[in-house]
Amino acid sequence: MITAKFTSACSKCGCTNKKGSSIYYWPSDRKAYCEKCGEVPYSQFRSAAADEDMMNGNGPCAY
Ligand SMILES: [Zn+2]
């Protein structure tokens, strides 16, 4: 979860993520989700990333 540096549209519902608001952003696919839409995939992403970290032996900050 990051603070939006620019105004963008949620990749899921299309609502506006205003600059300065809290959004979920995936650098890997350059998608931004609003707070509401980001919660579910974010928790999935975290568990998936944790699994990959276990497999690869990388820390949580290694992307
Ligand atoms: Zn949304």
Cα–ligand 1 centroid distance for 8 (angstroms): 11
Q: Is residue 34 part of a domain?
A: yes
Q: Is residue 52 part of a domain?
A: yes
Q: What are phi and psi of 26, to 5 degrees?
A: -105, 105
Cα–ligand 1 centroid distance for 57 (angstroms): 33
Burial label, 24 (beta-carbon count in 10 A; 0-12, 13-18, 19+): buried
> For residue 3, what pLDDT is reported?
92
pLDDT tens track for 23-59: 998 888 888 999 888 876 556 767 777 676 666 665 5
Q: Is residue 63 part of a domain?
A: no
Total domain count, the chain: 1
Predicted confidence band of residue 9 (pLDDT cuts 50, 70, 90): very high
Cα–ligand 1 centroid distance for 55 (angstroms): 31
Q: Is residue 62 part of a domain?
A: no
> For residue 16, what pLDDT is reported?
92
Q: How far apart are CA 9 and CA 17, in angstroms?
A: 6
- DSSP-assigned beta bridge partners for residue 25: 32
pLDDT average, residue stretch 8-12 = 91
Q: How far apart are CA 52 and CA 63, in angstroms?
A: 10
> For residue 29, what pLDDT is reported?
82
